[in-house]
Amino acid sequence: MRRPIQSEQEVTTFNWRVVKLLLPYLFEFKTRIFLALACLILTKVASVYLPFILKDIVDILDKQEENRVFLVPFALVGAYGLIRLTIVLFAEIRDTLFGRVTERAIRRIGLKVFQHLHKLDLDFHLNRQTGGLSRDIDRGTSGISFLMRFMIFNIIPTLIEIIMVVSILLINYGIWFALITTMSIVLYVGYSVFATDWRIRFIRAANKADSSSNTRAIDSLLNYETVKYFTNEEYEAKAYDKQLESWETAKMQNRLSLFALNGGQAVIISCSMTAMLALAAYQVTHQQMTLGDFVLINAFMMQLFIPLNFLGFVYREIKGSLANIEHMFELMLRKPKVEDTDNAGVLALSQAEIKFEDVSFAYDAKRPIIKNLSFTIKSGQKVAVVGESGSGKSTLVKLLFRFYDCDSGAISIDGQNIHEVSQHSLRKNIGIVPQDTVLFNDTLFANVYYGEPSADTAAVNNAFELAHLADFVSRLPEGVETIVGERGLKLSGGEKQRVAIARTILKNPRILVFDEATSSLDSQSEQAILTAIKEVAEHRTSLVIAHRLSTIIDADNIIVMQQGEIIEQGTHQELLTEQGHYFAMWQLQQSNDG
């Protein structure tokens, strides 16, 4: 969830904080930055000197002195061309040097954002909007590129040039030229800042509408089959068009506000240049200034207002870029709800015994899910948890993996509280076959290999065999190189489950978790998978969340849950003998299967 923007002042403060956060990424290449800044200064000195050459050329041509007309003007023209070339070359060298700095900074920041997103808690990822999040990150990295390049190579050099030009006008041509130039610049910058700050709300509205429409489109495409099942293509199109309508309105307001900004800037520039040239023309006609001076002042004004006009664009874009990267840095500032303790150790497994001790948990304080639950899974045991939907079975898995922390009580493995060990070492030692297996849009081989990226090809192929995937793979034209599609949509539910089992087999953990792992399989596939599970689970500690009771009759202990509490536990035969809740569930499933 995004933090709401409270005020424009808060936005400004936060945005400049973002600039400070970016500075360390600039200084990774200090030598390159120094050389780039040196080229920048030389470029500005050359560009300010250029109008003086024009002045000399015009003055010499105007005097028409025969002994100088032939050689000197052409020498000056050659010098003019040489300085022009120098300006371009220095600018190119500057951009080349600084390009590496920008690209490396974007790489570093992009990686940091990616790593931080993986550190955030499950609750964040369950509530995120993937399309909008993706757009925020894309716009943020683009904004960083613009901000880093143009803030250094346009705002700073333009300010240097303004100071140099105003100083030259004041010394050589008097206070009025310097005063008109200074007043016009102050007025131009003031108006640009005011108008840009005013229109930032329209930029934000356009970005929000853009993210919303993108989120809607991606969400609809990810649920393509559901759309088709319910013939809701028209409904989806109307919903998407409504989002696009909001985007269109926001963009129109953005465009009109840009027109107001550009129009005001154009009026200030026109009035300023007219006043300067009128004053220069007056002094030329009264022989207080040469024709070359008139050309120099005209060149200075053109040279000054072109980058100044660009400065207005840069300021607008910087403000827009800061608004764009704001959400990305909000993500960076967001703290995960589940974090390692400062002195978190590495989980040391010996027996792989799991204990839940008086564990209580609730997603919402008003609705407790787990209530003072205690049980033990001894080393090498297979413990199954059954119960009605909403009884808290799958929540136990999330707590074991530390996607959430217990509200009270503790979960320990071999006597080590999982809250006091690193999340990485905890999850490294637990393998899971989830109820809803999501695969990467890659090959079958790559999806199984993901279980242990250091494994060799023989180990991956062995995992295919143990998960009873070998026959299925042999019938595919591309074999293990078959692309499974986005989220594994090209495979059936049972095939996806077997890929997940193969991936877990390859990981080879001491603790195994099966969260209704056979729920999507037909009876024949189920038996084959159960055999594989039994083989791979031997001598390993296993927690099985089960829906079909027939799959857990060999469990060492079966825990029956209801509304977050244990109401029965024992072996399959013991629970049938008690003729309680488990017995009723067994009878119901047997009658349904029959």
Instruction: Tell me the domains of the chain and their CATH numbers.
Output: 12-333 (1.20.1560.10), 354-593 (3.40.50.300)
Q: What angle do CA 48, 50, 53 make, to 5 degrees?
A: 135
Q: pLDDT value at position 7?
A: 35
pLDDT tens digits for 117-144?
A: 888 877 777 776 666 677 777 878 888 7
Of 5-19, 61-75, 237-251, 291-305, the poorest mean pLDDT is in: 5-19
More confident residue, 202 or 68: 202
Q: Please, which pLDDT band fits residue 535 given cuts at 50, 70 and 90? A: confident
Q: Please, which pLDDT band fits residue 375 given cuts at 50, 70 and 90? A: very high
For residue 412 the two structure tokens come to 């320990």
Q: pLDDT value at position 132?
A: 67
Mean pLDDT, the chain, whole residue set = 81
pLDDT tens digits for 247-303?
A: 888 888 888 888 888 888 888 888 888 888 888 888 888 888 888 888 888 777 777
d(CA 259, CA 254) in angstroms, rounded, equals 9
Q: Please, which pLDDT band fits residue 344 given cuts at 50, 70 and 90? A: confident
Q: Closest Cα to residue 93, out of 158, 152, 40?
A: 40
**How is the beta sheet containing 354-361 ordered, strand by strand?**
370-377, 354-361, 408-413, 416-417
Q: What is the mean pLDDT of residues 542-548?
A: 88
pLDDT beyond 80 at 549: yes
Q: What is the mean pLDDT of residues 227-236?
A: 85
Determine phi and psi for 515, rounding to 5 degrees. -95, 85
Structure letter (DSSP) for residue 303: H
Q: pLDDT value at position 77?
A: 73
Query: Do residues 297 and 112 make contact, with C-beta atoms less than 8 angstroms apart?
Result: no
Q: What angle do CA 293, 294, 299 make, to 5 degrees?
A: 95
Q: pLDDT value at position 286?
A: 83
More confident residue, 354 or 24: 354
Q: Is 539 helix (H, G, I), strand (E, B) or coil?
A: coil
d(CA 113, CA 108) in angstroms, rounded, equals 9
pLDDT tens digits for 149-201?
A: 777 667 777 778 788 888 888 888 888 888 988 898 888 888 887 887 787 77
DSSP one-letter string for 437-460 = ----SSBHHHHHHTT-TT--HHHH
Of 193-197, 440-444, 521-525, 528-532, the poorest mean pLDDT is in: 521-525
Structure letter (DSSP) for residue 490: T
Q: pLDDT value at position 13?
A: 40
Q: Please, which pLDDT band fits residue 1 given cuts at 50, 70 and 90? A: very low
pLDDT beyond 80 at 405: yes
More confident residue, 511 or 85: 511
Residues 6+ apart with CB under 8 A from 252: none
Q: pLDDT value at position 16?
A: 64
More confident residue, 472 or 72: 472
pLDDT beyond 90 at 573: yes
Q: Closest Cα to residue 467, out of 486, 491, 489?
A: 491
List Cα–Cα distances, 146 to 309, 320, 326, 330, 384, in angstroms.
Answer: 17, 10, 14, 19, 56
d(CA 342, CA 93) in angstroms, rounded, equals 47
Q: Are strands 370-377 and 511-515 parallel, antiparallel or unpaired?
A: unpaired
Q: What is the mean pLDDT of residues 42-47?
A: 82
85 half-sphere exposure, CB direction, 13 A CA radius:
6
pLDDT beyond 70 at 470: yes
Q: Please, which pLDDT band fits residue 103 given cuts at 50, 70 and 90? A: confident
Burial zone of 450 (CB within 10 Å; 0-12 exposed, 13-18 middle, 19+ buried): middle
Q: Please, which pLDDT band fits residue 15 given cuts at 50, 70 and 90? A: low
Residue for token pair 């692309």 = 483
d(CA 354, CA 430) in angstroms, rounded, equals 11
Neighbouring CB atoms inside 10 A of 22's CB total 17
Structure letter (DSSP) for residue 421: B
Of 25-34, 163-172, 349-358, 554-563, the poorest mean pLDDT is in: 25-34
The C-alpha R_g of the chain, in whole angstroms, comes to 35
pLDDT beyond 60 at 12: no
